[in-house]
Amino acid sequence: MVIAMTLLVLGGLTAATAPRVLARGSWPDREPVLALWVWQCVVAAVLLCCVLAMALSGAAAWHGVRGQVFAPAPSHVVDAYALQPDGQRWAAAVAVLLACGGAWTAVMLTREVRRARAERRRRRAELLTRSPRLPWEAADASDRLIVLEDDRPDAWLLDGPASRLVITTGALRRLNRRQLDAVLAHEQGHVRARHHWLLHCSGALANGFPRVPVFAAFRHQVHRLVELAADDVASRRFGRLTTALALVGLNEDRGAFARGPHHAHVPQRVHRLLTPAQRLPVSRRLRLTAAATLVPAVPLLIAFAPGLTALGG
C-alpha cells in the first residue's frame, strides 16, 4: 500500500502544480506542437499514477487480483511490495474508488464522442437542407469542398471519415485566392494531426472531473494550442501575413472576435502571426521533448522499483 499511496500523492501533486508550472513560460506560444506533447505527457502521468495505484491496491485487497497482477513474478518480488493483510479494507476502498473513476472516464469519453457524432450528423443534415444536391449529382461524400450561400464570411471543417471544408459565399467574396488556400491549409492541419481526438479526450476528462486543475487546464490549452499549430501549418505554406488577413477577414464581423470557443483567441492569434517570436533552438526543443517523455516514466519507475530491486538483489 505504500507504493500505491506514493503514486496517489504524486498524481495529486502533478495535477495541482503542473498547470501553474506550464503557465509560467511563454514558449508554448512559440512551439504549440511541443506544448501539446508536454500536456499529453503530464496528463498521461496523472492517469498512470491512478491506474498503477488501482492495480496495487487491488492486489493488496484481493488474492485473485494479486495473482493476476503478479502472475509471472517470483515470490520474493511479491514480498518486496509488502502487501500486508491488515490493510485490506483501505486497499479495497481505494481500488474500488479508482476503478469507479476509470469507468466514469470511459463513460464521459463515450459521451463526448457520441455528442460529437450527433453534432456532425446534425450539421450534415443542415447542410443538405441549405445546400441540397441536384438530381444529377452523385449521392456520395467524395466532394471535399461545400460552398454554402451565406453573406457572413465563415469556413469550418466537417470532420469524419470523409472530412469536408464548408465555406460560405461571403468568405469567397471577401478573401482572395491565397487567403482561401491558407484557410484550407489550416483546416487540413487539424485533420492530419487528429486534433479532434485531443479535443474529445480533453473534454471528457474536464467534464468528468471538473475540480481537477490539470484536466480543466488541459482542455483550455488544447483548444488554444491546436489552433496555433494549425495557424503555423498555414503560415509555413502561404505566409504569416496572408494567414492573419484570412483570420481577420473571417472574423471581423464578430465584434471583438470573441464569439464562441473557437473564436475566443482570434485577436491573440492574429497578433502572434503579425509579430512572430523566434522559435526555440533545436537543442532546447529536443531537451523539452525528452523531459516530457520521461514524465510518464516516473510513476512506472516508482511502481516497478521494489520488484526490480528484488530481482537485482
Q: What share of the chain is helix, strand, coil (3-state, %, to 5)?
A: 75, 5, 25
Contacts 24+ apart (CB under 8 A), 279-282: 279/30, 279/31, 280/27, 280/30, 280/31, 280/34
The reported pTM is 0.86
Query: What does the pLDDT read at residue 264?
Result: 64
Residue pair 11/3 in contact by the 8 Å Cβ criterion? no
**Cα–Cα nearest to 271, from 285, 257, 254:** 257
Phi and psi dihedrals of 226, rounded to 5? Answer: -65, -35
Query: What does the pLDDT read at residue 215?
Result: 95
Ranges of residues in the chain whose predicted pLDDT is under 70: 84-87, 131-144, 160-162, 254-264, 313
Q: How far apart are CA 36 and CA 309, in angstroms?
A: 35
Query: What does the pLDDT read at residue 134?
Result: 57
